[in-house]
Structure 1
Amino acid sequence: MNEAHTILIVEDEPKIAQILVDFLTLEGFQTKVLHDGKDVIDVVKQISPDFVVLDIMLPHKDGLTLCKEIRQFSDVPILMLTARVEEIDRLMGLGFGADDYVCKPFSAREVVARIQAILRRVSAPISKDDEDNLLVYRSIELNMEKHICKTAGNTLNLTPVEFRLLTALIKKPGVVFSRDQLMNACYDDGRVVSGRTIDSHMKNLRQKLSVTNPDDEILHAVYGVGYKVD
């Protein structure tokens, strides 16, 4: 499947960018590289990449700002690269709509594996036993095959993680999911993910739903336990 996918790499260190290009090319991906944040938005709109690898520290415009701007018009999967190890920076990246992050120094093989895993999650159906590709709950309509979310007739740009979170919740209305259960629904590669990361994703998801349908509150936090739809 890789030959059809174009990966946009935004990295200001040419050696790191080239290493990623080399490893991705070996796996059959096409790549495009930018070394600063100046033209990123225009390029994403022009070439519609299948995946964006985005460094946080960039000349002209930082990666977090770019991630937030991309999310205003696209749900393309985004993986953040960061040399900052503080948890707050990672959560900020995810809070702005990133799907994953990798801390420098990193293994190029790990980055490629993360990209492949996210692309598999995007293309694979979430529920194998659904006879219908459409999952509907109140004002929410999820098309599993096309990975489209509509609420009150409006299409939402959800990240792959947000889509999987919402799917897990609305398949069992009223059931309270712990953060660990939601992590398992979103990440299938066995990684350790902070519960605060799930909180960041849920915050983004609730904001997106409230913008299109403010009178129909569906997602609820259950203090000390997790989340549910009701």
Structure 2
Amino acid sequence: MNSFAQPAATPLVLVVEDEPGIASILSAYLERDGLRARVAQDGEEALQLFRQLRPDLVLLDIHLPKVDGVDVLRVIRNEGQVPVIMVTALAGDVDKLLALRMGADDYVVKPFNPPEVVARVRAVLRRTQAQPAAVAAPIRVGPIEIDEQAHSAVVYDAKGLATPLPLTLTEFRLLACLAAQPRRCFSRAYLIENCLPESDALERVIDSHLSKLRRKLQQAGQDGLIETVRGIGYRLWPWD
């Protein structure tokens, strides 16, 4: 590897691939394009290097020894928003949608053209690094506080004690969207486009996600915060 010759500001890509030949080819093409690359050969090593190196992007194979790639993706998403491109030998749409709904930023299928993978990596890095560098303040609406940087949501009781909300990625996106503009009514179509952009789900799927979100808010002692507007959609209506 020639990664030590690259400046520290050069984006670092963690290549998670259990086939040494493929990992070597991907790393060589990435470094030839001016990126840094490190390789993990199984899911356990991938999580160790992810926490140690904090890469700018993860190129993640789905089928891995020790810890499956889908589980690695789940952990990465629970710990932040580092962009992830999934790599697999399966071309089925179901597998693709599963990865994207879990938070993957892109998806490539083996066999692939290495220069195309590098182009995908560059495209995702441009998109994610073009986001504002300023840290957004947590959203506080009524008893709810949402920190999009930390990907966490809590509910405060009357004594100021916080109860974490165990939300899925979609539930978190929905709550953040509603809380960003409290009392505004959002249509189901808008919520799908903005909270499930990779999905081809029917509008009624939103009802299921919001039902589960309401149940978790109720379990945290906050019932009735999300209102249904008949024939239109939903709104978050905090107490005065």
What does residue range 1-230 of structure 1 map to in structure 2 within 5 Å? 3=9, 5-25=11-31, 28-95=34-101, 97-104=102-109, 105=112, 107-108=116-117, 109-121=119-131, 123-124=132-133, 133-142=137-146, 149-152=152-155, 153=162, 166-173=175-182, 174-179=184-189, 182-183=192-193, 193-196=198-201, 203=209, 210=216, 214-216=220-222, 228-230=235-237
Aligned-residue offset at 1:118 = 2.8
Aligned-residue offset at 1:134 = 4.5
Size of the aligned set, in residue pairs, is: 214
Q: Which residue of 1 aligns with 2:5?
A: none
Q: Which residue of 2 aligns with 1:190?
A: none
SS in structure 2 at match of 1:110: helix
CA contact (8 A) 2:73 2:104 kept: no
Aligned-residue offset at 1:59 = 3.0
SS in structure 1 at match of 2:9: helix
Counterparts of 1:197 and 1:53, CA distance in 2: 30
**Deviation sequence 1:8-44 (CA, Å, 0-9, x none):** 1102344543454345445654321112224222222
Q: RMSD across aligned C-alpha pairs, in angstroms?
A: 4.5
Question: CA, structure 1 residues 165+117, in 2 after alignment: closer, same or farther (shift >3 Å)?
Answer: farther
Bigger RCO (CA 8 Å, 6+ sep): 1
Paired residue type of 1:103: V
Residues 24-33 or 58-67, more deviating = 24-33
Residues 82-91 or 153-162, more deviating = 153-162
Counterparts of 1:4 and 1:151, CA distance in 2: 36
SS in structure 2 at match of 1:115: helix
TM-score (norm 1): 0.64
SS in structure 1 at match of 2:50: helix
Aligned-residue offset at 1:64 = 0.8
Aligned-residue offset at 1:55 = 0.9
Q: Identity of aligned pairs, percent?
A: 27
Structure 2 unaligned blocks of 5 or more: 1-7, 156-161
Aligned-residue offset at 1:117 = 1.4
CA contact (8 A) 1:178 1:227 kept: yes
CA contact (8 A) 1:56 1:63 kept: yes
TM-score (norm 2): 0.62
Counterparts of 2:97 and 2:228, CA distance in 1: 19
**Deviation sequence 1:101-139 (CA, Å, 0-9, x none):** 313136220232123313434x5569xxxxx84532233
Counterparts of 1:163 and 1:26, CA distance in 2: 38
Question: CA, structure 1 residues 3+60, in 2 after alignment: closer, same or farther (shift >3 Å)?
Answer: same
